[in-house]
Amino acid sequence: MSDKPHPILEEIATQLPESSQLFLNIQSGSDYTEIVSLAQEDMSCFENVEGTLKDGQSAKSVLHQNGYQKWLESSDEDDQLRVYGALSLILELAQELAED
């Protein structure tokens, strides 16, 4: 765990709902490998919000568990695409930081 969040990750995270677990992990300076794992899970869910993941859970229920429930109720396809793009950037940067 870092003393403070990485400034670039923190900036990208502003595009996520503040209730999301990933946003909270970034803000608290969580370990980069944890951020990578959560970003991958969220991205998998956003690829097909109405679908089912490999482990049999619905994507929507996982997103609810990860703090997106209220946001999903009021979001549209463009909002979800924007968050998916932010997740992709977060994932790429966190992977590079985890390797260092």
Range of the domain at 18: 7-99
- Average pLDDT over the chain, rounded to whole? 94
Q: How does pLDDT run across 36-63, given as a tens digit for each residue?
A: 999 999 999 999 999 999 889 999 999 9
Structure tokens at 8: 């670039």
Residue 65 belongs to a domain = yes
pLDDT, position 4 = 81
Residue 2 belongs to a domain = no
Residue 69 belongs to a domain = yes
pLDDT, position 100 = 82
Structure tokens at 7: 């400034």
Please give the tally of structural domains in the chain.
1
Cα dist. 93→8, 16, 62, 71, 78 in Å? 9, 16, 23, 24, 23
Provide the pLDDT confidence category of residue 3 given band limits of 50, 70 and 90: low
Residue 1 belongs to a domain = no
Q: How does pLDDT run across 69-85, given as a tens digit for each residue?
A: 999 999 999 999 999 99
